[in-house]
Structure 1
Amino acid sequence: MSGRPGQYLEKRRRRYYAVLEVPKDLRKTLGKARFIQSLKTDSLALAERLKWPVINAWKLQIERARTGNESTLALLEELERKYEGGESGYDPEHGHFKFTSQDLQSDHMGLMLEAENVPEHVRQAAGVVLSGKSLLAKHIEQFANRGNVTDEAKASRLRILKTLVSRFPFAEDVRVQDLAEWVEVELIEGRGLARGTVRNYAVQWRNYWEWLQTRHGLTLQNPFSKGLFSDLQQLATAPVQRQVWEPEEYWNLLSKLDEDEPLHALIQVAAHTGLRRQAIFSLRIEDVLEDRFLIQKRKFETTSREFPIHSAILPLVERLKAASDGEWLFPVNGDDERFAHNMGERFRVYKNGLGYPPEKTFHSFRHTVATQLHKAQVAPHVVDLLLGWSVKGGSTGLRVYTKADFPAMQQAIEKVKY
């Protein structure tokens, strides 16, 4: 039974709204006494059907508030234990799903997932329970523990699989072209992983997918299968041609962001340094001197060096230093790779929303700085020193940084203009 007519509904100005009272003991936690959302229809019959995805999303929030459950997998296990999934029904009065296959179409799922303040782990769990999606993270612990392997090997399997599932929560999300862009932009360019390392990762991902097909009935085509896997390897080996950011595009990116937003500052620093995202987030307060950054050698930086701070961002750097209440220039733990990844995703979604093509990425700021320096006829070895290419295997491989190079680097970086 879907309940009496009009249950969970209100009509306002000829439009129907979904409504749900928040239990009194949770009103302080959720910050409201009731949920309300427009269903954008004046048809009672349609409103009766459209209300359930929204109501169920709110009930998931209430469940989360009551249990304090922040884990997607734990919440999913709880939901699957408590509810009957798919077409077996959901009766809001008795705690069971009551959906037909028609109710689970994307338009109705979209209404549920667009309900206000739905946490990401709730969206993921709801995606599994309500639409039958395959959550890739669900079985990674079981896969990592299979066989007679050492604790170190298990930890390595988990780390590699978590890299995949953090970007692609559902098996349905994994497409070869998206994989190729992610491999090139995020893993190779953003995190500085070697191509051979990424190919080894892909072997583990392929094995996990095949295991899911064999042991857990996954029916989707393996994106790491022989033919597609070869395509992925080829795409990961041949870098995509990145486009540079033009000055008017740079200013457009900034104009749509609040000045206090971390992404606003991140774009400015990247555009005037060409530093990789993780290198920027790894700057400690003690690494920021009056006119230079001290870049430490890390897995994404091949050499330690001093980097001149462009005059255009000196005031910004001073503000960041003044606002910092800890060890790092940016308000994060500089060793937290997930934050750097999330900021990269934030930038990707933001620039896509402005209509910029896939060829324009965060890493394109690095290409933009290099292009401007070359156009300004800066000596190649100075370009190499600025971009950290001054080691064997870099663009020239001729020399390493010495303090005597700093004045030339300082003059060169000022030629970058927007």
Structure 2
Amino acid sequence: MPKYLTKRRRRWYAVLEIPKQLRTTFGKSRFKQSLQTESLSTAERRVMPVIAEWKAWIESARLGDASLNSRVAEWRVLAEESRQQGMTDEEIRNMSLDLSILSRHEDPDLYDVHKITFGEWIVLTDHIEAWVATLENEQKTIDMKRTDVTRFAKNFRYAHDATNRAVIEWVEMDLIDQSNLSYATCRRIVSACRGYWTFLQRRHKLDCPAPFENVVPKSNSKSGKKAHSEARKGFDLQDYRNLLSGAQGGSQDLSQLIQLGAYTGARIEELCSLPLTNVASDRLHIEDAKTEAGWRIIPIHPHISDLVANLSENSTDGFLLSGLTFNKYDDRSNAIGKRFGRLKTKLGYGSDHVFHSLRKGVASQLEAAGIPENVAARLLGHEFKTMTYGLYAGGKLPFAVLNDALCKVDWT
């Protein structure tokens, strides 16, 4: 039986066991709700948002009996039980409203409980997991969207608190001024919030207008000179020497990664995930599923031929750079990338210098050597959109042309 599902009289139901310590609070041992379908595939699609909402109720109840969230969770259960006893939603709502009005002096929070219980006020933290369960992005993107929307929900308790003016102030004062986020990052956060808002409108009858119109300035107010100074910069010959010298005495793999980056122009994640099956005696086969241009051949530069041969011979896990660990997103570059970040910071480089700066350094050397742009683009895995070289050339160049071009790169 699929998780969280049970079948009764040909129909599928969502079920979730309530933790023992909270069963007294909810007055039952588990949640159960019809998914209104006889189709298993439909039930599997509908069940996770329901489960996510129940889990939010449980988490609210964990906060304690005195919390507003816990009381709302209890009232939701009482409302559900009243429906099962034959009461209509209108009767339940009116009974709750009468009770909250009569008790407003002794229990001023009861009116808020009524509004939340019956969906007139939407607590923005309540439905985040239900929304996340509907997303079909990669896990890393999903986690980022969850973080962005949670940040929004912590600032605005109820949906009706998030007016356009209030969101503008949140973006300008919290995100930009206090957190010093870029405008691009702010737009990403607002985009996630807009998606969550649409979910609330469709699934939870939110009738407040979306408050995100023109909340992020269209362009930075920084001067052109300052904005240019904060752009990523490329490493030059002296920078490369500094990095290699700084990496001495530490783990050998960091020095090896720097050399590979400098003489291939490859991205850090491309190098760290490169399997030995993609390493030949004279070339590396880079397979980047993100873009068609990312699938390319990089000749092995003479300066790193011995390094590549040694790494291949001594690998213990089937990767060119052996021994790196995966993070939860199956990314082998995360940990060593952070070590590179600490190294370059220790050497005095700021946020405008990153591992990608080696790639920019390779591009600069190719340009200085007079390498045609289409050849440099093939080596670096860039899109090349001109009519002749981009559309009709098919992306292939003779290996000898690529090899001659890359040999122009020299960090000695």
TM-score when normalising by structure 2: 0.49
TM-score when normalising by structure 1: 0.48
Larger radius of gyration: 2
